[in-house]
């Protein structure tokens, strides 16, 4: 026969077994709820988190009203000293007016002295007159010929090296740039890594005449991509592209737009601009589960600000 079991030990074992059963049921419920949540959740972009920035937004003019209002009080304090000076200035007006009449009387004699004495016209010999008559018309005809303004030659932008790095301080982007081409169907290739940006090599290099195109992913299954916060860029933000020889090509953001991929604005993105411009392209909008792609594109436009280095 086994050892005798006291009532206290059996009750403790029952309590421990019941507690373990409750913990097991709780773990099963949590696991089931998590799987159901992941199955029902639609992988859409969190646009509010996309708008997070590293640098503050450029200050518009309306935000300068408060500093201007703060300066009104010091200006009002200076009004009293200025008003006190008005009386001495007014007292000096009468002596100044009294001096106007003598000054006006002196104007006529001064004007007479300014006029040069009239001299009789100098007589020119008849032989010189004939020579002048013969030579002057030819000179006048040459002078009267209309001069055609030659149009200014278009500016020739230098050939730039390939880009190697992209810097966007406003949203904390510092990513390498890889070379991209075209797919078999004619579409643009995309970077294989979600942390890299890609330069469309068939187009111009950043800093050359035309629109240079840099593309990047917005997110992946592991988390945000290199252009996740591209939506947070605003007009006036700086974008820098480092080229192979170490020079930095600086651009300024001028605008942005969101367009469906089915109606991609190729005329704007691939436009042959007169000056160097830049396009930053990523995905956006609703996520299509069947194709596993986003249905829209988000595009940022920028113009050249300068080249340094």
Cβ atoms of 191 and 214 closer than 8 Å? no
Q: Is 173 in the same domain as 294?
A: yes
Q: Domain range holding 99?
A: 59-114
Secondary structure percentages of the chain, helix, strand, coil, to 5:
40, 25, 35
> Does residue 53 sit within a domain?
no
Q: Could you give the number of structural domains in the chain? A: 2
| Whether 219 and 291 share a structural domain | yes
Please give the residue that has the higher pLDDT: either 106 or 229.
229
Contact partners, residue 162, CB within 8 Å, separation at least 6: 177, 179, 199, 201, 205, 243, 244
Statement to judge: residues 106 and 183 lie in one domain: no
The domain boundary, picked from 79, 99, 114, lies at 114
* 293 and 192 share one domain: yes
Q: CA 221 → CA 52, 127, 214, 224, 238, distances in Å?
A: 20, 102, 22, 8, 29
pLDDT band at 296 (very low <50, low <70, confident <90, very high): very high
Spatial distance between the Cα atoms of 139 and 299, rounded to a whole number of angstroms: 62
- Average pLDDT estimate for 66-80: 82
pTM over 0.85: no
* Residue 139 included in any domain: no
Mean pLDDT to the nearest integer, 82-93: 84
Same domain, 107 and 175: no
Q: Which of 76, 96, 114 marks a domain boundary?
A: 114
From 206, 173, 175, 186, select the one nearest 264 (Cα to Cα): 186
For residue 29, tell me if it sits in a domain.
no
For all residues of the chain together, what is the average pLDDT?
A: 81
Residue 127's pLDDT band (cuts 50, 70, 90): low
Is 117 a residue whose pLDDT tops 50? Answer: yes
Q: How does residue 289 score in pLDDT terms, banded at 50, 70 and 90?
A: confident
Whole-angstrom distance, CA of residue 256 vs CA of residue 276: 17
User: How far apart are alpha carbons 84 and 123 in whole angstroms?
Assistant: 69
Over residues 248-270, the pLDDT tens digits come to 999 999 999 999 999 999 999 99
CATH of the domain at 253: 2.40.260.10
Q: What is the pLDDT of residues 154-212, one digit of tens each?
A: 667 788 999 999 999 999 999 999 999 999 888 899 999 999 999 999 999 999 999 99
Please determine, for residue 38, whether its predicted confidence score (pLDDT) is greater than 50. no
Same domain, 92 and 226: no
């Amino acid at each position: 026969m086994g050892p005798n079991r006291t009532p206290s030990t059996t009750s403790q074992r029952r309590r421990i077994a019941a507690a373990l059963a409750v913990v097991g049921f709780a773990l099963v419920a949590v696991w089931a709820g998590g799987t159901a949540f992941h199955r029902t959740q639609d992988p859409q972009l969190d646009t509010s988190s996309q708008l997070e920035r590293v640098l503050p937004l450029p200050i518009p003019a309306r935000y300068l009203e408060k500093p201007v209002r703060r300066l009104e009080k010091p200006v009002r304090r200076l009004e009293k000293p200025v008003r006190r000076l008005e009386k001495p200035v007014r007292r000096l007006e009468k002596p100044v007016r009294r001096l106007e009449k003598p000054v006006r009387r002196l104007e006529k004699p001064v004007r007479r002295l300014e006029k040069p004495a009239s001299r009789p016209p100098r007589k020119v010999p008849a032989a010189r007159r004939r020579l002048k008559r013969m030579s002057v018309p030819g000179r006048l005809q040459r002078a009267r010929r209309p001069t055609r303004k030659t149009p200014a030659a278009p500016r020739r932008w230098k050939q730039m090296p390939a880009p190697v790095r992209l810097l966007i301080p406003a949203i904390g982007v510092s990513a390498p740039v890889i070379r991209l081409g075209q797919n078999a169907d004619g579409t643009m290739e995309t970077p294989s890594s979600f942390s890299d940006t890609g330069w469309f090599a068939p187009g111009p290099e950043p800093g050359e005449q035309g629109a240079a195109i840099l593309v990047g992913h917005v997110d992946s299954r592991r988390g945000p991509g290199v252009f996740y916060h591209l939506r947070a860029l605003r007009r006036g933000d700086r974008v820098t592209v480092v080229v192979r020889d170490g020079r930095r090509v600086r651009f300024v953001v001028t605008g942005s737009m969101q367009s469906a991929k089915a109606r991609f604005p190729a005329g704007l993105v691939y436009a042959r601009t007169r000056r160097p411009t830049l396009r930053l392209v990523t995905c956006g909008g609703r996520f299509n589960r069947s194709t596993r792609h986003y249905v829209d594109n988000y595009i940022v436009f920028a113009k050249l600000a300068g080249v340094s280095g």
